[in-house]
Chains A and B, each alone.
Chain A
Amino acid sequence: GENVEQHPSTLSVQEGDSAVIKCTYSDSASNYFPWYKQELGKRPQLIIDIRSNVGEKKDQRIAVTLNKTAKHFSLHITETQPEDSAVYFCAASGVGNEKLTFGTGTRLTIIP
């Protein structure tokens, strides 16, 4: 089955700086890669996703890049703000409607 590794497990950045979280996956058949943000006591929220036919996707301060050859994808957050502090999870799945395999999570702390 699919295996997703995520690094780093914790990340602290100064407010205004950029944050990068990286994930690798094992199954070359995976073609959908979402990122979730989970604040303390809340449900995971889908913040951005990318499909395998695209190399990069951007939504305001958040971007995701995908390298299918190397089987890794990354989340980039620019101009970080205190409200970006949360746990971020990457995930991977196969053809649409299939189950998600999650990474282990990254606790991001933005230092004011």
Chain B
Amino acid sequence: SAVISQKPSRDICQRGTSLTIQCQVDSQVTMMFWYRQQPGQSLTLIATANQGSEATYESGFVIDKFPISRPNLTFSTLTVSNMSPEDSSIYLCSVGGDYEQYFGPGTRLTVT
């Protein structure tokens, strides 16, 4: 499977600021996704990152809050904007081929 990295691995941010998370894959992949995992909870899909076009957001997530870029088939970014303590979570990217999806190591975000 592909090697997936995320930056930063963790961060502590003040409310009202923004953080951009990067996801890098060592090979070209068809699909890239962004998930959120709140403490002790399951994974919730934020959006599908589409190469060369706007991301597809799930219900409850909007572009103004979570802008996503995907300039090529190996890289994507997720920005968490105007953060509040409720945004404290682990953010994970995943990549997919035909069926299987594999996850990056995650970014642990704490908002104070």
Contact = CB atoms under 8 A, between A and B. Distances in A.
Interface residues of A, number: 22
A97 B100 CA distance: 8
Contacts of A104: 41-42
Contact of A100 (B41, B101, B104, B106): B101
B105 interface: yes
Contacts of A96: 98-99
A102 B101 contact: no
A55 interface: no
B31 A43 contact: no
Interface size class of B (residues with CB under 8 A): 20 to 34
A69 to B, nearest CB: 22
A44 B31 contact: no
A93 B101 CA distance: 11
Interface in A1-54: 1, 32, 34, 36, 42-46, 49, 51
A46 B101 contact: yes
B104 A43 contact: yes
B33 to A, nearest CB: 6
A93 B100 CA distance: 10
Given A97-B31, A99-B33, A99-B48, A44 B99 contact: no
A49 B43 contact: no
Interface string B24-66: 0000001101000000011111001000000000110000000
A97 B42 contact: no
Nearest to B45: A99
12 contacts: A34-B100, A43-B103, A43-B105, A49-B100, A96-B98, A97-B96, A97-B98, A99-B58, A102-B42, A103-B42, A104-B41, A105-B42
Interface of B: 1, 30-31, 33, 41-45, 48, 58-59, 92, 94, 96-106
Interface of A: 1, 32, 34, 36, 42-46, 49, 51, 89, 93, 96-97, 99-105
